Amino acid sequence: MITIAGFQLSEGLRDAKFIFIATLVLIAFVINAFSYSGYFREDRESFSRSERTTSAMLEQNSGSLRDLSNYAQKVVKPPSALAFLADGGMRKLPDTWSVNAFIFRDPERTQRGNRYMPVIGSFDWSFIVGTLMTLLSILVSYSAICGEKQSGTLRMILSSRVSRMSLFFGKYLGLLAATVIPFLLGGLLSVVILYTNNALPLTEAVLQTLGWVVCLSILCISIFILFGMAVSSMVSRPAVALVVALIGWIAVVIVVPGIARLIAERLAPVRANFEIEREIEAAIEAVVARQPNEASDIPGDEYRDTYPLRAQMLNERLTATQRVIVNSNEERIHQAVLLNIVTHISPTGLLNSSLQELSGTGVFGYETLMRNARRYQQQLHDFTVEKDSTDPDSWHLVSSSGSNSHTGFLSAKPVSLSEVPRWNRLWLQEGLAIERAWPFWQLVLLIMVNLQMAIIAFIALLCYDPR
């Protein structure tokens, strides 16, 4: 068995096929490393820029708690150093929330980078492994059995004392090594380039993540090698094996994500934007209708008694609006997560979604961002309430008084900037400490698919007629 594996490997390594493939994979990993270190730098700059702007604006508004709590800051997603693994379409997703002590608006997309540049695809590891490497695995394995038969060597091998079992494992290990070696080399190269470009801190958590990614990727590649071998042991001509294997590849890599979208959209429909807008309007109208006419927004001392009512109305209005916004976002996240789950039927989809989860991108990154933005808003709100309660001049009507900022709803005392909760601090404290569940189940699932494929391939080989 070892002999066959060694023979297969050395034959594989000497093959022109292998050299082409290895070169292609290495080029892909180098492109990946350079482009993602560029994106990371861009994102880091954009993040610190937005932090600088926020600092300056908070400073300008720190003259009064009222202005400070009403200033809507842009809360930007911090750069993810692991986006090179699977970027989850990060250049198409909204990454900025507008947040003040009261308001939580729908997210938007920062205008960073070049919007005229076509976003063709992501050149992340998930693409390199899930699309390129799986294709290459099929290319190396489709002729493993029937190719030997066609050239007449299969009979020779089987008539010697080599059992089919050792032929199978020898072939499998040799092919696996021939594909995994370029992958490991390329991955290492990519990590080294990212590290030297200051785009990847090699902390323990990162190394652990990379370990998981390598395991998942190798399992994914192995599935396709076993698939290629299974097909190869079922047909008699390599040309047919190639076509069958390629169709399988197309089904798994191209079709499944497409269908997943269809299924997710049917199973978990979301409301259209205008419906959400209408709902917000209705919610506001309902609140306004409940209020007596006295809750006026006319400034002036003669209306002083109506202000508590007005503050209450404003707060109710905000709560109603935010409920709709948060609900609609939960709905969208639910749909996108469902889509991710549906792609689990394909090994590459599984790989892609676990890589996104590991690197905190895609819908997972969006969800984390939204939760943190909500938490940050709560912090700001609590801070406002606490500060306001210490000011005897304030009427303690904590509400987004909007255009009535000249009234005494909230304290107008200056605030020391160092006390104000800051977004980057929250992210440092809690954002990195989010429990990152290791994709244990995904690993088990991949192993099971591997076993299943191996059994199919082995049985097919047992039944194969070498003549």
Partner 1 sequence: MFGVLFSKEIREHLKTFRFGAALITTFALVLMSVWILGDDYIRRRDNYNRIAERAAQAESEVFVPSFLFPVVHYPPSPLSIFAQGEDRHLGNSVVIDRWEVPRGATDSLTDNVLLNAVPSFDLLAIFSMVISIFGILMSYDSINGERERGTLKLICLGKTSRAQIFLAKFAAGVCVIALPFLISFIGSLLVLQMVHGIGFTLVQWLAIFLMILVGLIYGALFFALGMLCSSLARRSSTSLILSLLLWATGVLLIPDAATNIASMLEELPDPTEITTFEQVSYRETREKISVHVISARPDGDISIMGVSGLVIPKPYLFDGNPAMYRWFADVLKFGEPLYQKRAEEVWQVSRKHEDAMIRQAELASLLSTPAPAYHLRTALTALSGTDYSVNREFIESARRFRSAFLKRMWDEGLFGKNVFKFFSRRPLAEALSEEGWARRYAEYRAREDSGEKEDTFINPRLWGELPPGLVPEFVFEGGNPDFEAASWPITALLIATILAFYLGMLAFSRYDVR
User: Tokens 């693409």 map to which residue?
Assistant: 127
Angstrom distance (rounded) from CA 80 to CA 375: 20
- 424 contributes a contact to partner 1 by CB under 8 A: no
* Nearest by Cα to 167 from 189, 184, 144: 144
Among 255, 286, 417, 428, binds partner 1 (CB under 8 A): 255
- 35 contributes a contact to partner 1 by CB under 8 A: yes
- 408 contributes a contact to partner 1 by CB under 8 A: no
- 129 contributes a contact to partner 1 by CB under 8 A: no
In the complex with partner 1, the residue whose CB is nearer, 53 or 203, is: 53
Contact 339, 258 (CB under 8 A): no
- Output the smallest distance, CB 57 to partner 1, in A: 9
Angstrom distance (rounded) from CA 430 to CA 434: 6
- Judged by CB under 8 A, the chain residues 258 through 277 that form the site for partner 1 are 258-262, 264-265, 270-274
- 38 contributes a contact to partner 1 by CB under 8 A: yes
Binding region for partner 1 (CB under 8 A) out of 155-163, 181-189, 256-264, 305-313: 256-264
- Output the smallest distance, CB 115 to partner 1, in A: 7
285-102-306 Cα angle (round to 5): 60
Among 22, 85, 90, 449, binds partner 1 (CB under 8 A): 90
Angstrom distance (rounded) from CA 40 to CA 34: 10
Q: How many CB atoms lie within 10 A of CB 303?
A: 15
Residues 206-245, one symbol each (x = binds partner 1 by CB under 8 A, - = not), give --------------------------------xxx-xxx-
Q: Where are the alpha helices (DSSP H) in 85-201?
A: 125-127, 134-141, 146-150, 153-159, 164-196
- 78 contributes a contact to partner 1 by CB under 8 A: no
- 336 contributes a contact to partner 1 by CB under 8 A: yes
- 335 contributes a contact to partner 1 by CB under 8 A: yes
In the complex with partner 1, the residue whose CB is nearer, 131 or 312, is: 131
206-257-132 Cα angle (round to 5): 60
Task: Give the residues across from 76 on adjacent strands.
Answer: 96
Angstrom distance (rounded) from CA 321 to CA 104: 9
- 366 contributes a contact to partner 1 by CB under 8 A: yes
Binding region for partner 1 (CB under 8 A) out of 115-123, 156-164, 188-196, 371-379: 115-123
Residues 161-200, one symbol each (x = binds partner 1 by CB under 8 A, - = not), give ----------------------------------------
- 345 contributes a contact to partner 1 by CB under 8 A: no
293 Cβ neighbours under 8 A, 6+ residues apart: none
Task: Give the residues across from 98 on adjacent strands.
Answer: 74
Among 3, 14, 49, 462, binds partner 1 (CB under 8 A): 49
* SS3 state at 8: helix
* Nearest by Cα to 397 from 410, 383, 384, 387: 410
Binding region for partner 1 (CB under 8 A) out of 5-13, 128-136, 319-327, 408-416: 128-136
- Judged by CB under 8 A, the chain residues 273 through 332 that form the site for partner 1 are 273-274, 293, 298, 332
- 339 contributes a contact to partner 1 by CB under 8 A: yes
In the complex with partner 1, the residue whose CB is nearer, 28 or 454, is: 28
β-strands 96-99, 73-76: how paired? Answer: antiparallel
235-236-240 Cα angle (round to 5): 65
Angstrom distance (rounded) from CA 329 to CA 385: 27
- 466 contributes a contact to partner 1 by CB under 8 A: no
- Output the smallest distance, CB 86 to partner 1, in A: 11
- Output the smallest distance, CB 390 to partner 1, in A: 26
In the complex with partner 1, the residue whose CB is nearer, 250 or 326, is: 250
- 428 contributes a contact to partner 1 by CB under 8 A: no
Binding region for partner 1 (CB under 8 A) out of 15-23, 166-174, 212-220, 439-447: 15-23
Among 14, 92, 290, 323, binds partner 1 (CB under 8 A): 92
Helices then strands, each counted (H, E), the chain: 17, 2
Angstrom distance (rounded) from CA 313 to CA 293: 11
- Output the smallest distance, CB 31 to partner 1, in A: 5
What would the two tokens of residue 195 be?
């590290």
- 155 contributes a contact to partner 1 by CB under 8 A: no
Angstrom distance (rounded) from CA 400 to CA 102: 6
Contact 329, 363 (CB under 8 A): no
In the complex with partner 1, the residue whose CB is nearer, 110 or 312, is: 110
Angstrom distance (rounded) from CA 261 to CA 258: 6
- Output the smallest distance, CB 357 to partner 1, in A: 14
Task: Give the residues across from 99 on adjacent strands.
Answer: 73, 104
